Amino acid sequence: MFQDLFDGSDNHLRTRLDALSTSYDAASRNSLSATGLEQGWRCWEIGGGNGSIARWLSDQVGPDGSVILTDVTTQWVESDGRHNLSVREHSVVTDDAPRSDFDLIHARQVLAHLPQRHDIVHWLPSCLRPGGHLVVEEFDLEQPLTVVNAVSETAEQPFEALHKPFIRLLQAREIDTAWARRLPDQFIAAGLDNVVTRTHRQQWRGGSSEIALHRANLAQLSKHLLDCGVAQRQLDAFTTLLDDHLLRVWSYPLVSVFGSLTVYP
Ligand SMILES: C[S@@+](CC[C@H](N)C(=O)[O-])C[C@H]1O[C@@H](n2cnc3c(N)ncnc32)[C@H](O)[C@@H]1O
């Protein structure tokens, strides 16, 4: 399962969480702002990773609001001692929800990894106040990450030689790499209204801070990739390519799905 691929206590995970923040926090902040986020809101950040989104939420909701960050591993969370931010060790699979009147619930890159994802999306709306918002963000990992401006005409080959087994590795662990495409229908089935879907993607340059996400994935998964038949020289070629400033590759598309609980008169 996911945990045996991405060990939560592994230092590489910290690097990976930071790379996720660098590459996607701006897009997530835009999505969360689009809900009308304001002072006084009560927010739940599920699987909050290093805490960067929760800290930003705590700034947005101010002293009258509150943010609860939950994660099975809280060792990488930086909360900066904020009074309106509480950090809890908690599994969204096995533990009860912290409360049932949230204005906003957000989960990025958490649920697609969990086999119970359908059930979780089904009950999460019951933790919203009427009019409250659910925002779930996942990668659509089945869109190609075509190399758009490569160091050489053959650069796509070393990129794909690693990317394809990486996706197969996730799929073999029950991670639904195309779940983001089905999420809007699941929001509707769960009783949410005003369901809107947006996708964010950008070009990453070789050697950039954003492309560090590929490097961090590789650091965590190289052993598994070698076990699947990827050759060491392919890992080396991929690593070299990621450092080349001439490389341009599309980022993983982050699909943000929004829905709200209708207020009945
Ligand atoms: C890929 S990271 C994403 C972190 C963060 N949401 C972000 O986008 O930067 C997945 C996070 O989900 C957490 N997680 C895994 N299983 C969980 C569970 N059952 N309940 C809550 N969090 C979980 C992991 O510990 C990790 O912090």
| Per-residue H/E/C for 212-253 | HHHHHHHHHHHHHHHHCCCCHHHHHHHHHHHCCCCCEEECCC
- The pLDDT of residue 173 is 83
Nearest ligand 1 atom to alpha carbon 52: 9
47 CA to centre of ligand 1 in angstroms? 4
CA 11 / ligand 1 centre spacing (Å): 15
Give every residue of the chain whose pLDDT is below 70, as ranges: 1-11, 149-155, 264-265
The answer to whether the Cα torsion of 24, 25, 26, 28 is positive or negative is positive
pLDDT for res 6: 59
Beta bridge partners of 204: 249
Per DSSP (E only), the strands in 34-121 are: 42-46, 66-71, 85-89, 102-108
Identify the H or E element spanning 257: strand 254-260
Domains of the chain: 2-260 (3.40.50.150)
The per-residue pLDDT for 60 is 98
Q: Which residue's alpha carbon is at the smallest distance from atom 23 of ligand 1?
A: 47
Ligand 1 in contact with 17 (CB < 6 A)? yes
pTM for this entry: 0.93
Q: Pairing state of beta strands 102-108 and 128-139?
A: parallel
What is the predicted pLDDT for the residue at 82? 93
Q: What DSSP designation does 26 have? A: H
Q: Is 98 in the pocket of ligand 1 (CB under 6 A)?
A: no
Size of the chain, expressed as the number of residues it contains: 265
Report helix, strand or coil for 71.
strand
b/e sequence 188-208, b meaning 16+ C-beta within 10 Å: eebebeebeeeebbeebbbee
Q: Is 21 in the pocket of ligand 1 (CB under 6 A)?
A: yes
